Amino acid sequence: MAKDLFAFNGEQLIQKNAPLADRLRPQTLDEFVGQDHILAQGRLLRRSIVADKVGNLLLYGPPGVGKTTLARIIAFNTLSHFSVVNAALAGIKDLKSEIESAIDRLNKFGKRTILFIDEVHRFNTAQQDALLPWVENGTLTLIGATTENPYFEVNKALVSRSRLFRLNSLNSKALHQLLQRALNDKERGYGLKLINLASEAEDHLVDVCNGDARILLNALELAVESTIANQDSSISIDLKIAEDSIQERAVLYDKKGDAHFDTISAFIKSLRGSDPDAALFWLARMLEAGESPRFIFRRMLISAGEDIGLADPNAIVVVESCAAAFDRIGLPEGIYPLAQATLYLAATEKSNSVKAIFKAVQKVKDSHKQNVPSHLKDANRDQEAFGDGIGYRYPHAFSKNWVPQQYLPDTLLNEIFWEPTENGWEGKRRSLLNERRSEQLASLIEVEQQNPLTITSGKADNDLEKWLSRQVLKEEKRLKNLISKLWLGISWKKNHRVLVLAPSSLLWSLKPLRETSEGGVVLAVSEDNHPRLLAEMETLAPMERPTLIDSKVESIRKLEDNLKFEVIGGRIPWRVFSETNFFELWPILTEKCVVNTELSLIISNPCSGPAFSLKESLELYSNKKNPDFSLLSDLICKEEKWLNKQEYKKKFILQLEKLGWNISSEEWTEFVYQKVDASIIKRWLNKGSEYRKIILKNCEEETLIRLQELFQRLDGQIIKQKLIHTKFLAKNNN
Alpha helices in 546-643 (DSSP H): 553-557, 574-577, 580-591, 610-621, 630-643
Q: Which residues contact 563 (CB under 8 A, 6 or more apart)?
A: 41, 42, 497, 592
In eight-state DSSP terms, residue 48 is: H
Distance in Å from the first CA to the final CA of the chain = 63
Q: Which residue, of 414, 445, 476, is where some domain finishes?
A: 445
More confident residue, 635 or 297: 297
Number of residues in the chain: 734
Separation of CA 264 from chain center: 23
For the packed helices 92-109 and 125-136, what is the interaxial angle rounded to 10 degrees?
A: 10
Give 568's pLDDT tier (boundaries 50, 70, 90).
very high
- 159-190 pLDDT tens trace: 888 889 999 888 899 999 999 999 998 888 88
Q: Are residues 65 and 203 in the same domain?
A: no
Q: Which residue, of 298, 319, 350, is where some domain finishes?
A: 350
Q: Are residues 481 and 625 in the same domain?
A: no
- 668-679 pLDDT tens trace: 888 776 667 666
What is the number of domains present in the chain? 6
Phi, psi of 480 (to 5 degrees): -60, -40
Counts of helices then strands in the chain (DSSP H, E): 35, 14
Q: Is pTM beyond 0.85 here?
A: no
Q: Is residue 344 part of a domain?
A: yes
8 Å CB contact between 544 and 575:
no
8 Å CB contact between 117 and 87:
yes
Read off the CATH number of the domain in which 441 is found. Answer: 1.10.3710
| Predicted local confidence at residue 260, as pLDDT | 76
Q: Is residue 269 part of a domain?
A: yes
Q: Is residue 569 part of a domain?
A: yes
User: Given 3-state DSSP classes, what are the helix, strand and coil percentages for the chain, each rounded to the nearest 5?
Assistant: 55, 15, 30
**85-89, 107-111, 430-434, 556-560: least confident range:** 430-434
| Predicted local confidence at residue 7, as pLDDT | 47
Q: Are residues 582 and 637 in the same domain?
A: no
d(CA 379, CA 396): 18
Q: Is residue 21 part of a domain?
A: no
Q: Are residues 687 and 707 in the same domain?
A: yes
More confident residue, 464 or 619: 619
Average pLDDT over residues 722-734: 87
d(CA 122, CA 145): 10
For the chain, how long is the longest CA-to-CA vector? 113
8 Å CB contact between 614 and 714:
yes
Q: Write out the residue range of the structural domain in which residue 399 sits.
A: 367-445
Element of type H or E holding 267: helix 258-272
Triad 189, 193, 198: Cα angle to 5°: 90
Q: Are residues 187 and 92 in the same domain?
A: no
Share the mean pLDDT of the chain.
79
Q: Are residues 564 and 603 in the same domain?
A: yes
Q: Is residue 398 part of a domain?
A: yes
Read off the CATH number of the domain in which 219 is found. Answer: 1.10.8.60
Q: Which long-range contacts (CB under 8 A, 24 or more apart) does 358-363 make?
A: 359/417, 360/417, 363/412, 363/415, 363/417
Q: Is residue 23 part of a domain?
A: no
More confident residue, 721 or 602: 602
More confident residue, 344 or 382: 344
Read off the CATH number of the domain in which 266 is found. Answer: 1.20.272.10
Read off the CATH number of the domain in which 161 is found. Answer: 3.40.50.300
- 241-289 pLDDT tens trace: 888 888 655 455 555 566 778 888 899 999 999 899 999 999 998 888 7
- 17-31 pLDDT tens trace: 788 888 888 888 888
